[in-house]
Amino acid sequence: MDRLTAFRLFLRTLDRGGIAAAGRSLGLSATAASRALRELEDELAVRLFDRTTRHVAPTEAGRRLAGRIAPLLDGLDAAMVEAREMHEEATGTLRLVARRSYALRHVVPHLATFRAAHPRVEVDLALTEQTGLVPAHGVDLVIRLGLPVGKSFIGHPLASGRRILCASPGYIARHGAPATPDAVLQHPCLTYREEQEAPVWVFTTAAGGRQEITVSGPFRSNSGEALRQAALDGMGLVLLPEWMVGEDVAAGTLQALLPGLPAWPERYQAEIHAVHARAERLPAKIAVFVAHLLAKAGPAA
């Protein structure tokens, strides 16, 4: 018998006033319980009980041991209950790292309704422009472009990978709209900042081929929100996710260009996913948060 079970049996014997009754409460026969207590005494090299045919009473050493281990076992039991509840009931702190642009538009606006539905969950949100995010080092969930490599993670698509080439109506009125991908080269382009290579926009041609255009312009940034604002201000053409500029196009503050030719910035074609570590029993706080995002944002189309 392991030491933890032996200690539980020892305390249960004191509580029930007999070895047989204590053993039954733990699913042990009287013989097995008696043997386990003798083995515990042998291991500790001390007598824990004064035994008679009718009754057992703790020795002074037994009383001292009980006073020390009872609070420890109570704390352990409470911790085990809490851990079990965190899997079965949404509670605790959800540590989330998310792409800044997506989180500000499609996560933060839904936090109040999430908290109203799950008041025992606290959300700790970190925003980033990094692309290679994975749940690690105390992070429960990441919201990122695409899925990480390997089978250790589960991803839930939140937004499609469709990008929209667009510009403000004021810009188009002054400079015109490109009619072909080649014509894009005649316009200032607002691009994601690349460390070493010039930015490339990839177009799917009418014949189904692939055409790469190396673009340039007056403004580069690692923030999609900054590029969006520059486009709204008429600084040039921009190629951004539908989940970021779809409402602007619908409102007419941005105008879609070359709508029949799918396009994307090289390396920025993936869907937005909520990603967590693969687990046999997913903590409820993660499961309910992902379900909330899917319900509010809808799965990727």
Phi, psi of 134 (to 5 degrees): -140, 150
Task: Specify burial of residue 179 (Cβ count, 10 A radius: 0-12, 13-18, 19+).
Answer: exposed
Rounded mean pLDDT of 127-151?
83
Residue 125 has pLDDT above 60, yes or no: yes
Tell me the two tokens of residue 250: 């619908």
Residue 218 has pLDDT above 50, yes or no: yes
On whether the CB atoms of residues 236 and 218 are closer than 8 A, the answer is yes
The mean predicted confidence, pLDDT, of the chain is 86
* Cα first-last separation, the chain: 56
pLDDT given at position 86: 52
Kind of pairing between the strands at 189-192 and 237-241:
parallel
pLDDT in tens, 28-74: 888 888 888 888 888 888 888 887 766 788 888 888 888 888 877 77
Q: What domains does the chain contain, in order, with CATH numbers?
A: 3-88 (1.10.10.10), 92-160+270-297 (3.40.190.10), 163-265 (3.40.190.290)
Helices 242-251, 224-232: axis angle to 10 degrees equals 20
Read off the pTM: 0.68
C-alpha–C-alpha distance, residues 275 and 28, integer Å: 45
pLDDT given at position 301: 44
Alpha-carbon radius of gyration of the chain? 32
C-alpha–C-alpha distance, residues 284 and 246, integer Å: 32
pLDDT in tens, 170-214: 999 999 999 999 999 999 999 988 776 789 999 998 777 899 999
